[in-house]
Amino acid sequence: MRGFTVLTEVLQRVADARGGILGVEPGLVIEPDESWTPAAELVREPYTLLAELADETAARWNAPRHVGAALFWKTYGYWHTLPMVLGWALDGKVPLMRLPDTFFKVSAAGVTLAATRVSWGSGAGEIGEALAESQAPLVRALGSLAKVGERTLWGSTAEAVVHPLTSIAEGDYMRLLKEIGPPVDGLIEPADDGYFRKTCCLWITLPDVEPCGSCCVLRPQNRPQNRPEGRPARPTA
């Protein structure tokens, strides 16, 4: 399929530009070995594996569990959303990694995702269905497990729709968000030179960090007059 080739070539170029560090396998499809874990294990009650990943993220940043959960989701949700959004922007073909077919492993990118089988759809509606099928169960589980707001988590997915269309393949992200609809529509505000979130990923709650460039605290009505100096920049996706 031509769409598959175009997308995987773009993903490979992105991986090469990042020194091989990418949170989704450029070819999307794998034959998993013991290093891969079924993503469905993350939503198996009592959410033991999901709790471990949230707590590991929290420990890495010396943060409470709800912040660790939000930051873990920002990474996982980004890499799951990225190939769908890029496919939509490149030629309208959307790769769908269903939850039962998806595998992940902890990696230098935070997590890396792939699937044993990828089906193909087209249009924003397919992305919305994929979010409902593959992301909503995780969002609900994290909300229950870590007491973090689901709107906060969906804000990270909304940004995962926007960021690739401003940095990798140009696309009308506001139109895409609107066509996908809830729960991601309405969580991003465009700006002259970029965009702002309407929810916080909770990175700013960590000590001695600068806000993300898209942080809701930097929206024009909230933009601080002076930013503290000498603070490290946040990690990028």
Domain-embedded: residue 234: no
Q: Tell me how far apart the alpha carbons of residues 84 and 161 are, in angstroms, rounded to a whole number.
A: 9
DSSP string, 30-53: ----TT-EEGGGGGSTT-HHHHHH
In a domain, 219, yes or no: no
CA 107 to chain centre: 15
> How far is residue 125's CA from residue 169's CA, in Å, rounded to a whole number?
20
- Band (pLDDT 50/70/90 cuts) for residue 228 is very low
In-domain check, residue 224:
no
Query: Residues near 52 by Cβ (< 8 Å), separated by ≥ 6?
Result: none
The pLDDT of 176-185, averaged and rounded, is 98
CATH number where 40 lies: 1.10.510
Q: pTM (2 decimals)?
A: 0.89
> Range of 19's domain?
2-186
pLDDT of residue 44: 97
Is the predicted pLDDT of residue 1 greater than 80, yes or no? no
Encoding tokens for residue 210? 């600068």
**How many structural domains is the chain composed of?**
1
Q: Judge whether 81 lies within some domain.
A: yes
> What confidence tens digit (pLDDT) does each residue in 32-53 have?
999 999 999 999 999 999 999 9
Q: How confident is the model at residue 221 (pLDDT cuts 50, 70, 90)?
A: low
Indicate the pLDDT class of residue 217, thresholds 50, 70 and 90.
low
Average pLDDT for the chain: 90
Q: What is the pLDDT of residue 209?
A: 77
pLDDT tens-digit series, residues 79-93: 999 999 999 999 999
pLDDT at 2 over 60: yes
- Residue 153 located in a structural domain: yes
Give yes or no for residue 237 having a pLDDT over 80: no
Q: Which helix (H) or strand (E) holds 137?
A: helix 136-146
Percent of the chain at pLDDT exceeding 90: 79
**Tens of pLDDT along 162-172?**
999 999 999 99
Q: Is residue 136, in this structure, part of any structural domain at all?
A: yes
> What is each CA distance from 218 to 11, 71, 191, 213, in whole angstroms?
30, 19, 11, 8
Whether 13 is covered by a domain: the verdict is yes
Residues counted in the chain:
237
The answer to whether residue 87 is domain-embedded is yes
Quote the DSSP letter at residue 235.
P
